[in-house]
Structure 1
Amino acid sequence: MNHEQSRSLYDRALSVLPGGVNSSVRAIRPYPFFIEKGDGGHVIDADGNKYLDFVMGYGPLLLGHDMPEEVQSAVQQRASEGPMYGAPTEVEVELAEFVARHVPSVEMIRFVNSGTEATVSAVRLARGYTGRDKIVVMESGYHGAQESTLVEGEGSETQPSSPGIPDSFAEHTITVPFNDEEAIHDVFDAHGEEIAAVLTEPILGNYGIVHPVEGYHETLRELTDDHGALLIFDEVITGFRVGGLQCAQGKFGVTPDITTFGKIVGGGFPVGAIGGRADIVKEFTPAGEVFQSGTFSGHPVTMAAGLETLRYAAKNDVYDHVNALGEQLRSGLTDIVADQAPEYTVAGTDSMFKILFTREGPDEMTDHCEAGCRQRASCSRHDHCPKRGADVMDGETERWERLFWPAMKEQGIFLTANQYESQFICDAHTAEDIEQALEAYKEAL
């Protein structure tokens, strides 16, 4: 493939953008290819190369790059009527009503402009509602670029994970390993009366794809109830992708107090949202005293795109289609891995998928998960598959980035740039696309 134009664009970008990019995950080595346009389930770069796209904007594009007529019409109408107003519009009420009808935890919702803004606001809301300061997060969980969760360390011995964050922020953040019930019990035994909330992704989505073990979320629900703390599900990635319109909380049957959203709820436009019990969400100003506000919040173009995307998904069996393709892809990857790299782990559910370059596997495959790790105790891989983010970090990250990713790119397959970020299927993908991807995996592995 020729990448002359992308290389030239990156050279220009380095002069005006830090690292040549506007989001660090786009800094692919030796340089990223620049996208010119999307085409259904594909993207075309500045040099005219076409790729089968499983990045999907890092998750927002449930329907793919071509908006269905209903969505496109709604977006164009809103844009033609004026960019924004600094006043409420009917469409934000309609989207709020749609979400509240379908997501178990949501009685009220506040729209914001990004997943990071949603989690920042959710943490502030939890602290304001409970009158407590400490937040419990999962080691290797990701909740956006916010000071309260950009921490590292174990338990209450944490420190900021980035320069520019005062140590005092980390003092109020406690970390526990995902799926470690003993650790979360110990934290509540020691700090239960100080904890405002436990903040977790239902499925770790930024450190590979790591499923909860059976009963883990139920344990979080019971402990927060017993100690007067709140349970916050970060569904920025899983929201309206895992579990369909009920989101991951509906799939797992655990209802949090607060849920954060992003990505799909905005139909591919910048968005975030904080939903939950009415008595909690009403603490936001102006109804309550927890300050939250934003010039672009509830932007009419974004609200229209999100509403029509979800309506289209509900009316056109989108989830049946993308989930079936996800099953087809993960099943095929499981067979390939068993034959070519049995130490690797196939992960994912619904329309999410990933091969994790783990280093160990069982001697034989008996009663194994056939289409993505489910953390089943009876599975022969159970002792080897990742249970927390650190298990993924111990994998062959350099092999994934330096050898595997470029090999897939050269075959016209666009994957997320490291073994940590999730990959996604969209409604525009076809069974033939999945077979093409499987052939590429066979060659690259």
Structure 2
Amino acid sequence: MNHDESRSLYDRALSVLAGGVNSSVRATQPYPFFVERGDGAHVIDADGNRYVDYVMGYGPLLYGHDAPEPVQSAVQKHAAAGPMYGAPTEIEVEHAEFVARHVPSVEMLRFVNSGTEATVSAVRLARGVTGRDKIVVMQGGYHGAQESTLVEGGPDGAKPSTPGIPSSFADHTIPVPFNDEETVREVFAEHGEDIAAVLTEPILANTGIVHPVDGYLEALRDVTEAHGALLIFDEVITGFRVGGLQCAQGKFGVTPDLTTFGKIIGGGFPVGAVGGKAELVEQFTPGGDVFQSGTFSGHPVTMAAGHEYLKYAAENDVYGHVDRLGEKLRAGITDILEDQAPEYTVVGTDSMFKTVFTRHGAAERADACVDGCSQVESCPNYDACPKTGADVSNTETDRWERVFWQEMKDRGVFLTANQFESQFVSYAHTDEDIEKTLEAYKAAL
């Protein structure tokens, strides 16, 4: 493939953009290709190269790059009426009503502008309503670029994971391993009266896709209720992608006190939201005392896009299509790994997937999970399937970024650039796209 134009654009970008990009995950080696336009399940770069796209904007593009006609019409209508007003609009009410009807935890919402802003607001709300300061988070979980959760370490001590955050901020955050019920209970036994909330993704969706083991989410629900703390599910990635319109909490049957949203809920436009019990969410100003506000919150174009996105999914077999293709893709990769790389592990569910370059997968897969690890103890690959964020960090992460990603790109398949980010199937993908992708996997592995 020729990438002369992308190389030239990156050279220009290095002069005016930090690192040549506006999000660090886009900085692929030796330089990123620059996208000119999208076309259904594909993107075309500045040099005219065409790729099957499984990045899907890192999750929000449930329909690929060509949104259904009702979505496009709604966006055009609201954009033509005026960009924004600094006053409420009917469409934000309609969108909130739809979400509240379908997501188990949601009685009331506050729309914001990003997933990061949603988790920042949820943490502030939890602290405000409980009068407590400490937050329990999962090692390897990601909740946006916020000071309370950009930490590393363990229950005995956390520190900021990046320069620019005072070490005192981390004093109020307790990182624990995902899927480790015993450690969570020990932390609550020691700090229970000071813990405002447990904040977790129901699936670690930004760390190679790590499923909860049986009973783990239920244990979080039990221990938070017992100690008067809140359970917050970060469904920025899993929301309206895992479990359909009920989200991952509906799939797993565990209802949190608060849920944070982003990505799909805005139909491909910048968005975030905090939803949950009315008695909690109404504590945001002006109804309560916990300050939260934003100039672009509830932006009418975003609200219209998100509302029509979800309505279309409710009225059409969107999830049936994307979940079937996701299962087909994971099962196909599993078969390829059995022959070519049995040490690796396929993970994911519904329309999410990833191949994790684990080091010690089971060579005999006769009774293994057929379309991605689901933490079944009887599976011969159970011990190799990642249980924590550390398990993913200990995989062959360099091999993905430096070798595999490049090989797949050269074969016309656009995957997320590192071992940690999730990948997604969209409504625009076809069986032919899946077959092409599997052939690329065969060659690249």
Q: Given the two structures, how large is their TM-score scaled by the length of structure 1?
A: 1.00
Contact 2:326 2:425 in 1 (8 A): yes
Task: Provide the secondary structure at the position in 2 that maps to 1:135.
Answer: strand
User: Does residue 205 in structure 1 map to residue 205 in structure 2?
Assistant: yes
Worse overlay, 309-318 or 54-63: 309-318
Distance 2:190 2:325 in 1: 45
Tell me the equivalent position of 2:301. 301
Matched AA of 1:65: H
Q: Could you tell me which residue of structure 2 aligns to residue 243 of structure 1?
A: 243
Contact (CA 8 Å) 2:338, 2:363: kept in 1 or not? no
- The residue number in structure 1 matching 2:179 is 179
Q: Once the 2 structures are TM-superposed, how far is the Cα of residue 384 of structure 1 from its aligned partner?
A: 1.3
- Alpha-carbon distance in structure 1 between the residues aligned to 2:224 and 2:174: 14
In 2, distance between residues paired with 1:299 and 1:191? 40
Superposed displacement of residue 19, structure 1: 0.2
One-letter amino acid of the counterpart of residue 216, structure 2: Y
Q: What's 2:25 paired with?
A: 25
User: Is the 8 Å Cα contact of residues 343 and 363 (structure 2) preserved in structure 1?
Assistant: no
- 1:433 correspondence with 2:433: yes
CA contact (8 A) 1:42 1:50 kept: yes
Residue-by-residue CA offset, 1:340-386 (whole Å, 9 max, x unaligned):
00010000000000000000022422321100100011111111111
Partner residue in 1 for 2:401? 401
State how 1:19-418 maps to structure 2 within 5 Å. 19-418=19-418
Distance in 2, Cα, partners of 1:192 & 1:182 = 14
Q: How many residues align?
A: 445
Alignment partners' CA distance in 1, 2:56 and 2:104: 26
Structure 2: how far apart are the matches of 1:332 and 1:366?
A: 15
CA distance in 2, matches of 1:118, 1:357: 32
Which 4+ stretches in 1 moved above 2 angstroms? none
CA distance in 2, matches of 1:213, 1:170: 28
Shift of 1:156: 3.9
Aligned-partner residue type, residue 122 of structure 1 = A
SS at match of 2:198: strand
3-state SS of paired residue (1:61): coil
Tell me which residue corresponds to 1:12.
Answer: 12
Identity over aligned residues, as a percent? 76
- CA drift of 1:68 comes to 1.2
Q: Partners in 2 of 1:338 and 1:299 — Cα distance?
A: 48
Deviations 1:104-129 (A, max 9, x none): 00000000000000000000000001
Q: Which whole-Å deviations, capped at 9, do the CAs of 1:38-82 have from their partners, x for residues lacking one?
A: 000000000110100000000000011011111000000000000
Asked whether the equivalents of residues 156 and 171 of structure 1 are also in contact (C-alpha less than 8 Å), the reply is: no
* SS of aligned partner of 1:376: coil
Q: Counterparts of 2:3 and 2:364 in 1: how far apart (Å)?
A: 43
C-alpha distance 43-363 of structure 1, shift in aligned 2 (>3 A): closer
**Separation in 1, partners of 2:229, 2:397:** 37
CA offsets per residue over residues 206-247 of structure 1, 9 Å max, x none? 110100000000000000000000000000000000000000
**Separation (CA, whole Å) in 2 of partners of 1:402 and 1:144:** 25
* SS of 1:109 mapped into structure 2: strand
Tell me how far apart the structure 2 counterparts of residues 183 and 370 of structure 1 sit (CA, whole Å): 31
Q: CA deviation at 1:316?
A: 1.2
> Quick one: distance in 1 between partners of 2:381 and 2:106?
36
**Cα RMSD over matched residues?**
0.5
Query: 2:156 & 2:314 partners in 1: Cα distance?
Result: 43
- Cα distance in 2 for partners of 1:388, 1:91 equals 40
Contact 2:358 2:392 in 1 (8 A): yes
Q: What one-letter code is carried by the residue in structure 1 that aligns with 2:286?
A: P
AA partner of residue 255 (structure 2)? T
| Contact kept in structure 2, 1:366 and 1:379, CA below 8 Å | no
Secondary structure, in 3 states, of the residue corresponding to 1:36? strand
Report if the CA contact (8 A) 1:109-1:276 is conserved.
yes
Q: In 2, Cα distance between the equivalents of 1:22 and 1:364?
A: 44
In 1, Cα distance between equivalents of 2:184 and 2:343: 29
Amino acid at match of 2:412: G
Corresponding letter in the other structure for 2:166 = P
